[in-house]
Amino acid sequence: MRHIKLYKSICAVICCQLLFPALFAQQQKVDTTHTYSIPEITVSDIYQTREIRSTAPLQVLSKDALKNLHALQVSDAVKHFAGVTVKDYGGIGGLKTVSIRSLGAQHTAVGYDGITVTDCQTGQIDIGRFSLDNVDQLSLSNGQSDNIFQPARFFASAGILNIQTLTPRFEKGKRTNISAAFKTGSWGLVNPSVLLEQQLNSKWTVTANGEWMSSDGQYPYTLHYGNAEGDLTSREKRKNTDVQTFRTEAGLYGNFSDKEQWRLKAYYFQSSRGLPKATTLYNDYSSQHLWDKNTFIQSQYKKEFSHQWVLQTSAKWNWSYQRYLDPDTKNSSGKTENSYYQQEYYLSASVLYRLLNNLSFSLSTDGSINTMDTNLTNFAQPTRYSWLTAFAGKYVNDWLTISASALATIINEDVKEGGSAGNHRKLTPYVSASFKPFRNEEFRIRAFYKDIFRLPSFNDLYYQEVGNTKLKPENAKQYNIGLTYSKNVCTFIPYLSATVDAYYNKVTDKIIAYP
């Protein structure tokens, strides 16, 4: 019944988001007696000085920078960020996870167009399923970004990788943009993609894009027979490494004014991958296979009522499916075949209040329900109810920036079989500052402290034979101090910048899985 009630609540919120533009349009009185046409104005930061002014380490890759990297996937681009470890399980079609400063992938939040991507089963996000062709900007924040106007979930992690997709832009006189690309390479790689953008009128725009990728993955390697010098070797190829993926997205954008925007996005991804194994005693046979499917629909509405008050609401439904097959298991059925299902219902609301021109506060609250089921017998079938509330403030002037927040987390957990992991209540703080000691030099000293935790994943708690419902949350304390400097040198070197940071992380109740 609680799932049904929440589903009705989410439908109500999405309907409200659909009705907001119409209601505000009815309330506004438009004076059409005087109409003035002004050209479009684009504001950009060529040298990305916000990275220098940030109170916590921030790294940004723009669309132009991504093109210069000649990267194939999002994971390839993320490797260019400092302090990041990208783990690659299985080559071009394998799982790709990102860890910041060795804290683990579970401590890194991944945002997609301002809404977090979650996976309660494993606690880590596969960034390999996002297309780089559809990315406008990648940003990585250690600790927390200086943007206090964001969902509470962005406060609840040790670091944030934010993926911002392309926003439709049209040249004067054009209402349609179409682009296509085709990539190919070694090991049977075939990767076509297409993007369509259509402007319906001055307020509404729709987009659609799709991508398909296939590869046999049979790269060569040298197999050594023995360890002594002069032993025989042979050239072999990896087996059971084929991969096929398909991704498609559709978006609806409503730009009603410079103070009111709404967007709706639908996403679908599926993959089929062979799982190679290590060559042991010259045996390279492998037959295991993995299928994944994921779809979500998310909506976000933003309204600036005045210079002081801004409102933002978000809603999301997410569904994931995973099937694993080992046709050669020596058991009574002659195989191992497991299927896993996840669902998430998510709501968020944030309010920004500008008390003064340089002093602002925000209040964000998020509610979510996560469920997991499987075809395994006597599985716990857990349901996690999460409620996060963050209160944050920021003060900015020419020589000082201070940001602080407090996050209240309430977790309730139920199961249908066996015992549950119980409930959790915790308050976690964050504070950061950046100081400019010299008036005429863009030299800053910055520091931040953050106390955060992560809950055990459903696999950590309920996976058969290795799950442990008595696990405590994994706590992480982060300390950082750094120096930033930038300067306009000359016409030959128009801009020079440098950042240096030292950090210390202390992790307690570390969660480690082992056979």
Judged on CB neighbours under 10 Å (0-12, 13-18, 19+), 161 is buried
CB atoms inside a 10 Å sphere around CB 483: 13
Mean pLDDT of 176-189: 90
Q: Tens of pLDDT along 406-443?
A: 999 999 999 998 888 889 999 999 999 999 999 888 99
- Tokens in use for 455? 């809950």
Q: What Å distances lie between residue 170 and 46, 137, 178, 199, CA to CA?
A: 21, 18, 11, 8
What are all long-range contacts of 184-193, with beta carbons under 8 Å and residues at least 24 apart? Answer: 185/72, 186/219, 187/92, 187/215, 187/216, 187/217, 187/218, 187/219, 187/241, 188/214, 188/215, 188/216, 188/217, 188/218, 189/92, 189/213, 189/214, 189/215, 190/214, 190/215, 191/72, 193/131, 193/133
Strands (E), 23-153: 58-62, 84-89, 95-100, 108-112, 115-117, 135-142
Question: What's the pLDDT at 282?
Answer: 79
Q: Which residue has the higher pLDDT, 428 or 489?
A: 428
Question: What's the pLDDT at 513?
Answer: 79
Mean pLDDT of 166-192: 90
CB atoms inside a 10 Å sphere around CB 191: 20
Confidence of residue 26 (pLDDT cuts 50, 70, 90): very low
Delineate the domains of the chain, giving CATH numbers in brackets: 2-25+47-508 (2.40.170.20)
Q: Tens of pLDDT along 8-25?
A: 444 544 454 544 444 444
Question: What's the pLDDT at 48?
Answer: 59
Q: Tens of pLDDT along 116-137?
A: 999 999 998 999 888 888 899 9
Q: Which residue has the higher pLDDT, 26 or 383?
A: 383
Judged on CB neighbours under 10 Å (0-12, 13-18, 19+), 461 is buried
Confidence of residue 180 (pLDDT cuts 50, 70, 90): very high
Mean pLDDT check: name the lowest of 265-274, 281-290, 333-342, 404-413. Answer: 281-290
Q: Tens of pLDDT along 72-96?
A: 888 889 999 999 999 887 666 678 8
- Tokens in use for 20? 């907001």
58-62: strand order across its sheet = 58-62, 135-142, 159-165, 108-112, 115-117
* Mean pLDDT computed over every residue of the chain: 87
Q: Tens of pLDDT along 32-47?
A: 444 444 444 444 454 5
